Structure 1
Amino acid sequence: MSSRIPIAEAFDQLLVGTVPVRITAYDGSAAGAEDAAFAIHVRNERGLSYLMTAPGDLGLGRAYVSGDLEVSGVHPGDPYPALREIKSGLKFRRPGAAEALALVRGLGLEHLKPPVPPAQEHLPRWRRAVEGLRHSQQRDAEVIHHHYDVSNRFYELVLGPSMTYTCAVFPSEDATLEEAQANKYDLIARKLDLQQGQRLLDVGCGWGGMVRHAAREYGVRALGVTLSREQATWAQQRIKEEGLDHLAEVRHLDYRNVEERDFDAVSSIGLTEHIGVKNYPAYFGFLRDRLKPHGRLLNHCITRPHNKKEDTGAFIDRYVFPDGELTGSGRIITEAQDVGLEVQHEENFRVHYAKTLAGWCHNLVENWDECVAEVGEATARVWGLYMAGSRLSFERNEIQLHHVLATRTDADGVSGYPLRHTFGI
């Protein structure tokens, strides 16, 4: 029988260079500098099994969400400082087959039996396929429910009064999150050149922030649709409270089932990530057909810094955005053009999303006890981990956020667009 290998020593053998964090485990082993700012502690055998049966971000996520992996030196609502240190300095090498087998035997073959995943984990992609084709209306409704119908109160605590779960646009470095969210909605309204009496369709409208802003500030008749029943209920109540129900409406409805046409403007703020790249032609074609000639479309979505189709990572796919797909702004523009839309302007807001996520993590930390009471500590840990990790990805230019503004130009080539942009900064 092979002798046991100390857990921290096994990790140390797989690391390249100086270990930037302290690594400890339930067997009493340790590696890395004792005075490191952050420490990773494997608390129990289940945590080790998670790490061994799903190497990479999924295993780490499972162990962290379940509380079997602890990170000291940071708050669980915002582990960003530790993630930044780990991402910058923690480098693993790939062992050869013989070495890998020796390590597994030394850590214990019994740890190769996968533990039951945390309850917050969604089904893998192959299991979801049993429930419906990817991006079918049935399957989209299920994955949206998984993420957005957590708890409206939880979202209020994390997102703040704006109840806006999309990238803010900061008018200055010291602007508050609420100021930046209001600025984002107004920038979109100006890009769409909204005028009193016009009609706006907002697809994937969330809690109705854009719908209410357009109705309140511009006198626009606005219709929003969302696949989340919880969002629609909250939005309709807020619309009534603000006295906007003569202008604004939010429906619990798949955008593909909107029958109305001849809108002056369409906004899509954070929906394209859920569409699926292969469905872009149908998506942009549908939105084009909802516009009247000279109407404008503003598409706001997370993108890659390249134009290849690429699925999200395993942790994000299982815990945050099931079936999410991202590609580059070039692909977005190409698909919009290929259905006959004329692209007038594009803009990258990735640094704004990093600041937005920092604001949401701050809110989660400030309201941690109430958030945990509302959804449980495991779910709150999912949010802290994913938002802090996403912030780091935006900062490192691994993902971006783009606005693409387009018009439905008529058959004579008239777009209704001015000689120069009029929406300012």
Structure 2
Amino acid sequence: MTTFKDAPTRHGSGAAKLTIAEILGIVVGRNLPVYFTAYDGSELGSPDAEYHLHLKTPRGTTYLMTAPGDLGMARAYISGDLVVTGSHPGNPYEVLRVLGEQLHFHRPSARELAHITRSLGWEVLRPIAPPPQESLPRWRRLAEGLRHSKTRDAEAIHHHYDVSNAFYEKVLGPSMTYTCAAYESEDQSLEAAQENKYRLVFDKLRLKEGDRLLDIGCGWGGMVRYAARRGVKVIGATLSAEQAEWAQKAIADEGLSGLAEVRHSDYRDVHETGFDAVSSIGLTEHIGVANYPAYFEFIKSKLRDGGLMLNHCITRPDNTRSTRAGGFIDRYVFPDGELTGSGRIISEIQDIGLEVRHEENLRESYALTLAGWCRNLEDSWDECVAEVGEGTAKVWGLYMAGSQLGFERNVVQLHQVLAVKLDAAGRANVPLRPWWNG
């Protein structure tokens, strides 16, 4: 078997072809933290390494070479052309952690790139169709409408959320809650932490029996049902038809139909006003940063004077980076998704005239939430694969494990921002100090 350590350095125009392992060695160096083997018989790293990556086919090389970075790696992995052993596909957290901490990329020189190109040949470097789980690139989504139009937003939500309710039941657990939980301790159960999150939102909004709540982007209706059980009249809105159907059945099963309703609709099509509170839990990521002024103005228009709003969403750790998601997230997880820092969100809320009263970062809680979802996927892997197919299940394992690392390393955060609509005299009419148990 050809090994990288045995191969001579060859760069001239007449040099022999590089093996796949030699090419990888040029890009990442000799100290690979995993054992890599390829279909051409070459290898790199120690066979004693805990994790083994095997590149099975030239198609996998094409994916890696035509989309460098996380998108190419994802394509090769999801298609089955890049096989990882030593790690469960439903929870590849540990292998991603090792690669993230110990893998260091080197930009090849022009001479090295020319040698790599000659070694692989143009046939391998010609782009091919991606795996079927992948969304269209941004420029091709124009057929679905302008970015963040109602039509295009509906298609983006359909891509991510209308996978399978049975699949989500396995991954999310009984709460069917696909947003960050609020952990009181690291050993708290996922279900208890999700219940605590709903309690926290409910208390921050000062909701009580007889109040009216609008829950925008309500998902499977977790917040809707939590509030309705406590006598609050709730309207929830979601662009996912499968979520709305599941939520309406759950509402009926709990005998809450007189208080709660989940509509399959764009939040912009909710015409009722005068709500005591508006909750937005995990929607802001989908609406586009340029649309924040209109979004928060809409929320303000739905509130009575003295009404409270709570915005709960993923954020960046600063306000200076690009708002667009990376290639893998945009094409496989959240098409058209955008993130910014909590400072930008707070500024936009203030600029439309709502008064911000409190904000907090639940970053560590989201890492724990994702770890719980990964465990659920791993524990129910066979059922999940039977429901949605192995490729889609692998997308979710990769996405959730990678996101867990992102929250742990402060690549992303989760902020709750609480604001109030002042009355004509500028009064907030809320207690002087925080009134909830954090």
Task: Give the TM-score of the pair, scaled to structure 2.
Answer: 0.96
Q: In structure 2, what is the Cα distance between the partners aligned to 1:341 and 1:137?
A: 25
User: Structure 1 residue 103: deviation in Å?
Assistant: 1.0
1:299 alignment partner AA: N
Q: In structure 2, what is the Cα distance between the partners aligned to 1:48 and 1:328?
A: 36
Query: Which residue of 1 is the match for residue 187 of structure 2?
Result: 174
1:376 alignment partner AA: G
Query: Which residue of 2 is the match for residue 55 of structure 1?
Result: 68
Q: Give the 5 Å matches for 1:19-418.
A: 19-216=32-229, 218-308=230-320, 309-418=322-431
User: Structure 1 residue 107: deviation in Å?
Assistant: 2.3
Runs of 4+ in 1 over 2 A off after TM superposition: 1-4
Q: Is the 8 A contact 1:2 1:106 kept in 2?
A: no
1:245 alignment partner AA: S
Q: In structure 2, what is the Cα distance between the partners aligned to 1:13 and 1:51?
A: 14
2:255 alignment partner AA: G
Aligned residues: 424
* Secondary structure at the counterpart of residue 179 of structure 2: coil
User: Structure 1 residue 398: deviation in Å?
Assistant: 0.2
User: Structure 1 residue 245: deviation in Å?
Assistant: 0.4
Give me the CA root mean square deviation.
Answer: 1.0
Q: In structure 2, what is the Cα distance between the partners aligned to 1:304 and 1:410?
A: 32
Q: In structure 2, what is the Cα distance between the partners aligned to 1:17 and 1:24?
A: 14
* Secondary structure at the counterpart of residue 404 of structure 2: helix
* Secondary structure at the counterpart of residue 434 of structure 2: coil
Q: In structure 1, what is the Cα distance between the partners aligned to 2:332 and 2:28?
A: 27
User: Structure 1 residue 18: deviation in Å?
Assistant: 2.1
* Secondary structure at the counterpart of residue 91 of structure 1: coil
Q: Is the 8 A contact 1:141 1:228 kept in 2?
A: yes
2:281 alignment partner AA: I
Q: Is the 8 A contact 1:357 1:391 kept in 2?
A: yes
Q: In structure 2, what is the Cα distance between the partners aligned to 1:45 and 1:14?
A: 18
Identity of aligned residues (%): 63
Q: In structure 2, what is the Cα distance between the partners aligned to 1:388 and 1:328?
A: 22
Q: Is the 8 A contact 2:30 2:44 kept in 1?
A: no
Q: In structure 2, what is the Cα distance between the partners aligned to 1:63 and 1:2?
A: 28
1:326 alignment partner AA: L
* Secondary structure at the counterpart of residue 154 of structure 1: helix
Q: Is the 8 A contact 2:144 2:155 kept in 1?
A: no
For residues 108-165 of structure 1, what are the alpha-carbon distances to aligned partners after superposition, in whole Å with 9 as ceiling and x for unaligned? 2211112211110000000002321000000000010001000000000000000000
For residues 68-124 of structure 1, what are the alpha-carbon distances to aligned partners after superposition, in whole Å with 9 as ceiling and x for unaligned? 001111000000000000001111111122211111211222111122111100000
User: Structure 1 residue 3: deviation in Å?
Assistant: 3.0
User: Structure 1 residue 17: deviation in Å?
Assistant: 6.2
Q: Is the 8 A contact 1:229 1:252 kept in 2?
A: yes
* Secondary structure at the counterpart of residue 369 of structure 1: helix
Q: In structure 2, what is the Cα distance between the partners aligned to 1:278 and 1:17?
A: 45
User: Structure 1 residue 291: deviation in Å?
Assistant: 0.3
2:235 alignment partner AA: L
Q: In structure 1, what is the Cα distance between the partners aligned to 2:155 and 2:332?
A: 13
Q: Is the 8 A contact 2:377 2:384 kept in 1?
A: yes
2:86 alignment partner AA: G
Structure 2: tracts of 5 or more residues without a match: 1-13
Q: In structure 2, what is the Cα distance between the partners aligned to 1:249 and 1:4?
A: 65
Task: Give the TM-score of the pair, scaled to structure 1.
Answer: 0.98
Query: Which residue of 2 is the match for residue 3 of structure 1?
Result: 16
Q: In structure 2, what is the Cα distance between the partners aligned to 1:16 and 1:31?
A: 10
2:424 alignment partner AA: A
* Secondary structure at the counterpart of residue 224 of structure 1: strand
For residues 189-245 of structure 1, what are the alpha-carbon distances to aligned partners after superposition, in whole Å with 9 as ceiling and x for unaligned? 0000101000000000000000000011x2100110000000000000000000000
Q: In structure 2, what is the Cα distance between the partners aligned to 1:146 and 1:131?
A: 12
Q: In structure 1, what is the Cα distance between the partners aligned to 2:367 and 2:142?
A: 33
Q: In structure 1, what is the Cα distance between the partners aligned to 2:211 and 2:337?
A: 33
Q: Is the 8 A contact 1:4 1:108 kept in 2?
A: no
* Secondary structure at the counterpart of residue 67 of structure 1: coil
Q: Is the 8 A contact 1:2 1:105 kept in 2?
A: no
Q: In structure 1, what is the Cα distance between the partners aligned to 2:171 and 2:186?
A: 21
* Secondary structure at the counterpart of residue 310 of structure 1: coil
Deviates more, 1:15-24 or 1:305-314: 15-24
* Secondary structure at the counterpart of residue 10 of structure 1: helix
For residues 312-366 of structure 1, what are the alpha-carbon distances to aligned partners after superposition, in whole Å with 9 as ceiling and x for unaligned? 0001100000000000000000000000000000000011000000000000011
* Secondary structure at the counterpart of residue 305 of structure 2: strand
* Secondary structure at the counterpart of residue 193 of structure 1: coil
